[in-house]
A and B are shown apart, each in its own frame.
Chain A
Amino acid sequence: MRFVQNFPFFCILLTLICTVISSVLSGKKARMMTVFILGADWVLNAFTLADVLRTGESFAFRMGHFAAPWGNEIRVGVAEALAAQVLLTVILLAVLAGMKRSTVGVEKSKSALFCILCDLATLAMLALVYTNDLFTAYVFIEINTLAAAGLTMSRQNGRSLAGGARYLIMNLIGSSMFLLGVVLLYIITGQLLMVPLRETLATLDLNGQYRVPLLMALLLITLGLGMKSGLYPFEKWLPGAYPNALPTASALLSSVISKSYIFLLIKIYTRVIGFELVRQTGILNVILVMGCAGMIMGSVKAVRSRTTRMMTAYSSIAQIGYIYMALGLGNELGMLAALWHLLAHSMTKSLLFLSGSVLDEASGGTHQRRDLRGVFYRSPLAAVCFAVGGANLVGVPLLSVFITKVTMAEAAIACGGWRLALTLAAMVVSTLLNAAYFLGTASSFFSPREGMKEQRVKGSRLTTAALAVLLAVNVVFGLMSQTLLPILQTALQAIV
């Protein structure tokens, strides 16, 4: 075993240790520690990514060197390492951008708690991306839920507490459904590690055994993770959670926490059940329809939103719909589009939430979209970040979501029939609505307010630097799509 193969485990262990130590540190020291550990995770994961890209093979790291079904292991391939790298980048930049503002409204004695929640979210994300064991996945899903509920309530006002309660209830239903699904899978196979589970399921399928329990398990896992990631119509918790949290928390909730659930679902479909078997059950048709409905309903609600935060939150429902719609197409291209959009949306949504909060501050703490007129002259970088993020989600060429939409259209054409008609119709309607709310809002940034002298508002240098890097990462990700897409395609084939 090469030494670099220990790095994913080191990342998880380091973050866990950091979480414990932060609980006895002051707010400032806890923030420094979080940034340091995130940086260390980023570097260690970059080495892992470079290693798996070089060898082109995935590897398993056994905890305590026990074999299945006794042992527990993590499995790392290009898809896992790339997803972890993108999500770690987002977390690091979101924490840096919101470093100063994460203490606003939080009692001084409790300011270290926010860092602990960020550490826990990072820990859970790494574990969910890397784990090869379904019960470990359940444990980290619950840790993710606890961290997310804390982040949702980070603003500590009535709205964020009520949003947190709603988030917790809906997400716990999702967790329980996932647990029941895992229990059913364990009962019919006697396995919890993903690869042995897949082999047992293939034998059962060949003999035509346990078809109904398998369908039930698949349904419970899909709906459980769908509910937790904001799949329509189970997204009722989302409008109360994202807009009422602190900017960094909103960025983590929308870009990292929900995405780690979807990544886990993709792994379960490909590595545990087998995509062919999933397709046979017909469950993909259900998530295709739900995804399309989410794309339209999320966009309609975003158009009607009066605040940028609410608009960005509703837009998340539409974008999550895109990912599920692509998954629901049930072919390799659809899966590729889903994974690509998962990464692209993760980067773009954090850019939107973080730049949106800077724009609100530069406009006198407003939350109304109409008050952002001429904000480019008060906070140019944040205005450009929001405009580029919005343009990206609309699908402007050269940016990453354009690639998503082209790949999704190709996947739909390969499917043909009613799936093609439904997908294209949903994409056209959703894109038009996206353009209406994002470009409509962004265009007002560049028209100065009548009779008012615009003055540049000075913000935190760290926030400005983090936003600039996030903007650059978004643009580069889109421009490098010709290189990255084939890598992701190979990674998907190797995820099995």
Chain B
Amino acid sequence: MGIWERLTGNFPEVASVALICIGFAMLLFSRNLFKKIIGMDIMDSAAYLFLACQGYITGRAAPIVADGVQAMEAYINPIPAGLVLTGIVVSVSVSALSLALAVRLYARYHTMDIDEIIRLAGEEEV
């Protein structure tokens, strides 16, 4: 199998890796606190996409028993789906705290530049 076939055959995984790289780069290189938080969210979502892809089986339904069908073969793997749900809850909490902190810092220093915030905070009395 050639590289192109491998890439297109594993499209969701390739997309997740690309998103992870984009999120990581934003988190690492952007000086804007708000963009850093967005980068973190992209990175986490990409990890969840990657995980959800592993539990997906073409032609099967979401792991919620419907119409009395209880055969295991009718549903996708429920564990990654459960993990992704838990992960999303965690990510939302982290994003909420990060955004609240960003608002507080902006109100105090009138900038979103993290380097500038650290410089201004360093000039304050201990």
Interface of A with B (CB < 8 Å)? 69-70, 135, 138-139, 142-143, 145-146, 149-150, 153, 157-159, 161-166, 168-169, 172-173, 175-176, 179-180, 183, 186-187, 192, 240, 307, 367
A158 and B120 within 8 A (CB)? yes
Interface flag for B9 (CB, 8 Å):
no
A161 and B121 within 8 A (CB)? yes
Q: Return the contact of B51 from the options A157, A183, A367 (Cβ within 8 A).
A: A183
A158 and B27 within 8 A (CB)? no
If the complex has contacts A159-B126, A169-B27, are A179 and B44 also in contact, measured as CB distance less than 8 A? Answer: yes
CB distance from A11 to the nearest CB of B (A): 22
Q: How far is the CA of A367 from the CA of B117 in the complex (A)?
A: 22
A162 and B105 within 8 A (CB)? yes
Q: How far is the CA of A173 from the CA of B104 in the complex (A)?
A: 22
A157 and B101 within 8 A (CB)? no
Cβ of A166: which chain B residues have Cβ within 8 Å of it?
Answer: 114, 118
The number of chain B residues with a CB under 8 A from chain A is 38
Beyond A135-B86, A138-B87, 12 extra complex contacts between A and B, CB < 8 Å: A69-B79, A146-B93, A146-B94, A146-B97, A149-B101, A161-B104, A165-B101, A168-B101, A169-B114, A176-B23, A179-B44, A180-B20
Cβ of B47: which chain A residues have Cβ within 8 Å of it?
Answer: 176, 179-180, 183
A-B contact pairs, 5 of them (CB 8 A): A159-B126, A162-B105, A166-B118, A169-B40, A240-B118
Give the residues from 86 to 101 in chain B that come closer than 8 angstroms, CB to CB, to chain A: 86-87, 90, 93-94, 97-98, 101
Interface flag for B76 (CB, 8 Å):
no
B105 and A161 within 8 A (CB)? yes
If the complex has contacts A176-B47, A179-B47, A367-B126, are A161 and B101 also in contact, measured as CB distance less than 8 A? Answer: yes
If the complex has contacts A69-B79, A159-B126, are A172 and B101 also in contact, measured as CB distance less than 8 A? Answer: no
B124 and A165 within 8 A (CB)? no
Q: Return the contact of A168 from the options B28, B51, B98, B117 (Cβ within 8 A).
A: B98
Q: How far is the CA of A172 from the CA of B23 in the complex (A)?
A: 12
Q: How far is the CA of A157 from the CA of B114 in the complex (A)?
A: 16
Cβ of A162: which chain B residues have Cβ within 8 Å of it?
Answer: 105, 117-118, 120-122
Interface of B with A (CB < 8 Å)? 20, 23-24, 27-28, 33, 36, 40, 43-44, 47, 50-51, 54, 79-80, 83, 86-87, 90, 93-94, 97-98, 101-102, 104-105, 108-109, 114, 117-118, 120-122, 124, 126
A172 and B27 within 8 A (CB)? yes
If the complex has contacts A70-B79, A176-B44, are A149 and B124 also in contact, measured as CB distance less than 8 A? Answer: no
Q: How far is the CA of A138 from the CA of B43 in the complex (A)?
A: 15
If the complex has contacts A145-B94, A168-B101, are A159 and B124 also in contact, measured as CB distance less than 8 A? Answer: yes
B108 and A161 within 8 A (CB)? yes
Q: How far is the CA of A150 from the CA of B120 in the complex (A)?
A: 21
A135 and B101 within 8 A (CB)? no
Q: How far is the CA of A168 from the CA of B98 in the complex (A)?
A: 7
B86 and A172 within 8 A (CB)? no
Q: How far is the CA of A132 from the CA of B29 in the complex (A)?
A: 35
Q: How far is the CA of A173 from the CA of B9 in the complex (A)?
A: 29
Q: Return the contact of A159 from the options B43, B104, B122 (Cβ within 8 A).
A: B122
Q: How far is the CA of A300 from the CA of B113 in the complex (A)?
A: 30
A168 and B97 within 8 A (CB)? yes
Cβ of A187: which chain B residues have Cβ within 8 Å of it?
Answer: 51, 54
A149 and B117 within 8 A (CB)? no
Q: How far is the CA of A183 from the CA of B94 in the complex (A)?
A: 19
Q: How far is the CA of A69 from the CA of B114 in the complex (A)?
A: 43
B40 and A172 within 8 A (CB)? yes
Q: How far is the CA of A162 from the CA of B86 in the complex (A)?
A: 29
Cβ of B90: which chain A residues have Cβ within 8 Å of it?
Answer: 138-139, 142-143
CB distance from A340 to the nearest CB of B (A): 33
B124 and A157 within 8 A (CB)? yes
CB distance from A307 to the nearest CB of B (A): 8
Q: How far is the CA of A135 from the CA of B79 in the complex (A)?
A: 11
A186 and B94 within 8 A (CB)? no
